[in-house]
Amino acid sequence: MGYALYCIDPLPTTGYENFEMWQLRNKLPEWIPTTLIYLWYWYGQSLVKMSCAFLIIDSWQFHLHRIMHLNKALYRRFHSRHHQLYVPYAYGALFNDPVEGFLLDTLGTGIASLTTGMTPIECTILYTFSTMKTVDDHCGYSLPFDLFQLLFPNNSIYHDIHHQHFGVKFNFSQPFFTFWDTWFGTTYHGVDEYKQKQKKITLQKYRQFLQERKNKRRNAAIAKKMPEPVSSSSDEEEVVNEKKTN
Ligand SMILES: [Zn+2]
Ligand SMILES: [Zn+2]
């Protein structure tokens, strides 16, 4: 994503960046190639900051999210609105009480970007990436080419379970990793069974859809082939002709 942004709007290298890279070059041993220092300066440190920010966001969200479930008053007042979604869908990702939205999402990501000392571009990437990840977790699909689902252990199936009646007391971790659930013993252990069950339902529904479409098309073809009924206007013409001959 950073590279795509760079292609669209490449940053001009000013004397400041050149000076910093030159300083790094002088500080580090000679056997480290200059290209590596260049890559570290422009991309490496951003990746490290981003990874730390992911950990901070996850920690912040897990604890607040868990407290919202443990405290009945907090759950009823703030978090229950998000749990009105039993079948999550993309637009419902940020269907939250505004206070909860501010505390969990805005403040959590803000703290992560401030503590890691992110630049405005890094902040833009972090906020966009986190929002896209949250939307993906609520999309209701587990597609094989979805990079979010491949890169992170926390995905749409994992979070979908948390939205169900049977899983509401599990899988509090969001949106990137699952280690907090492992440490607190709140991981739902029937993930694979749930995945298989959902796959079965999806295939059943798809077969049903195909059968219904086939039936509709067949009925339409039969209706086309049937002879047209004799129209009333020709009947009237025949009656008029008969009258004339009489
Ligand atoms: Zn919840
Ligand atoms: Zn959710």
Q: Are residues 66 and 176 in the same domain?
A: yes
* Among 82, 102, 106, residue whose Cα is nearest residue 159: 82
Q: Are residues 51 and 124 in the same domain?
A: yes
Per the structure, how many domains does the chain have? 2
| Boundaries of domain holding 89 | 2-189
Q: Is the pLDDT of residue 115 over 90?
A: yes
Q: Are residues 182 and 214 in the same domain?
A: no
Q: Are residues 83 and 11 in the same domain?
A: yes
Write the CB contacts of 160 (distance below 8 Å, at least 6 apart in sequence): 88, 140, 194, 198
Write the CB contacts of 175 (distance below 8 Å, at least 6 apart in sequence): 57, 58, 61, 130, 133, 134, 137, 152, 154, 159
Q: Are residues 216 and 175 in the same domain?
A: no
Q: Is the pLDDT of residue 245 over 90?
A: no
End of a domain among 189, 214, 229? 189
Residue 179 burial by Cβ neighbours in a 10 Å radius (0-12, 13-18, 19+):
middle
Q: Are residues 206 and 131 in the same domain?
A: no
Measure 158 CA to ligand 2 centroid, in angstroms.
10
How would residue 235 be classed by pLDDT, with cut points 50, 70 and 90?
low
More confident residue, 151 or 232: 151
Q: Are residues 148 and 228 in the same domain?
A: no
Share of the chain above pLDDT 70, in %: 89
Q: Are residues 51 and 161 in the same domain?
A: yes
Instruction: For residue 196, report the phi and psi dihedrals to the nearest 5 degrees.
Output: -65, -40
54's torsion region: left (phi>0), alpha (psi -120 to 50) or beta?
alpha
Q: For the packed helices 108-115 and 45-70, what is the interaxial angle rounded to 10 degrees?
A: 150
Q: Are residues 93 and 203 in the same domain?
A: no
Summary mean pLDDT of the chain: 87
Measure 81 CA to ligand 1 centroid, in angstroms.
10
Measure 149 CA to ligand 1 centroid, in angstroms.
20
Mean pLDDT of 228-243: 54
Query: How is residue 245 written in tokens?
Result: 């001959």
pLDDT tens per residue, range 26-84: 988 889 888 888 889 889 999 999 999 999 999 999 999 999 999 999 999 999 999 99
Tell me the ligand closest to 169's alpha carbon. 1
Tell me the ligand closest to 80's alpha carbon. 1
Write the CB contacts of 151 (distance below 8 Å, at least 6 apart in sequence): none
Per DSSP, the chain holds a count of helices (H) and strands (E) of 13, 0
Query: How is residue 230 written in tokens?
Result: 């004799």
* Among 40, 50, 34, 72, residue whose Cα is nearest residue 1: 50
CA distance 162 to 172: 7
Measure 172 CA to ligand 1 centroid, in angstroms.
6
Q: Are residues 151 and 170 in the same domain?
A: yes
